[in-house]
């Protein structure tokens, strides 16, 4: 059975994003500056009863220097990819990412990237992303790598 996804307003996904990625922190730490970008979109994934189970935020941001030395290659970056811990490993995060990548491709952009948490390395690599550079720390969030993927038709 395919997992239903939809492009939704940030208000639909905000509480899941906050509870998973900023647990114990003030709500404002889960507000992203990109949320107000006119080209941003948010993807939600739902279970069979219509409950929100995963989400992600996607916005225009050129590939980082490590992926495109000397250039400003158009790309979409995503962040806030979060799955309800009760359903982690059941394909909801993958469904959000697949829907987001499809939307990026529909917008004519051929590259996607993120600063992904180190423990999610295997997830991103299974989705066709390449890890670039050295590990770095973001606050809040902990250890991360840059992950990049070229989209194909």
Among the listed residues 93, 79, 87, the one whose alpha carbon sits nearest the alpha carbon of residue 144: 79
Judge contact between 77 and 69, C-beta under 8 A.
Answer: no
| Distance separating the N- and C-terminal Cα atoms of the chain | 24
Please give the class, per CATH, of domain 5-110.
Answer: alpha beta
Q: Which sequence spans correspond to the domains of the chain?
A: 5-110
Judge contact between 90 and 45, C-beta under 8 A.
Answer: no
Q: How many CA atoms lie within 13 A of 112 on its CB side?
A: 25
Segment 19-37, tens digit of pLDDT: 998 888 899 989 999 998 9
Segment 82-136, tens digit of pLDDT: 999 999 999 999 999 999 999 999 999 999 999 998 999 999 999 999 999 899 8
Judge contact between 126 and 34, C-beta under 8 A.
Answer: no
Hunting for tokens 């999610």 — which residue is that? Answer: 120
Count of Cβ atoms closer than 10 Å to residue 78 Cβ: 25
What are the residues facing 138 on neighbouring strands?
A: 142
pTM of the predicted protein model: 0.92
Among the listed residues 62, 140, 151, the one whose alpha carbon sits nearest the alpha carbon of residue 100: 151
- C-alpha radius of gyration, the chain, whole number: 15
């Amino acid at each position: 059975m395919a997992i239903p996804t939809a492009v939704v307003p940030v208000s639909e996904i905000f509480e899941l994003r906050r509870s998973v990625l900023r647990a114990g922190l003030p709500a404002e730490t889960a507000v992203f500056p990109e949320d107000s970008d006119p080209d941003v979109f948010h993807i939600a994934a739902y279970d069979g009863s219509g409950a929100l189970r995963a989400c992600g935020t996607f916005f225009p941001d050129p590939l980082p220097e490590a992926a495109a030395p000397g250039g400003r290659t158009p790309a979409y970056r995503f962040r806030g990819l979060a799955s309800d811990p009760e359903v982690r490993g059941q394909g909801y995060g993958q469904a959000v990412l697949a829907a987001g990548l499809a939307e990026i491709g529909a917008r004519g952009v051929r590259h996607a990237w993120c600063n992904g948490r180190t423990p999610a390395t295997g997830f991103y690599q299974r989705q066709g992303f390449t890890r670039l550079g050295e590990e770095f720390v973001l606050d809040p969030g902990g250890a991360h790598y840059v992950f990049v993927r070229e989209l194909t038709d």
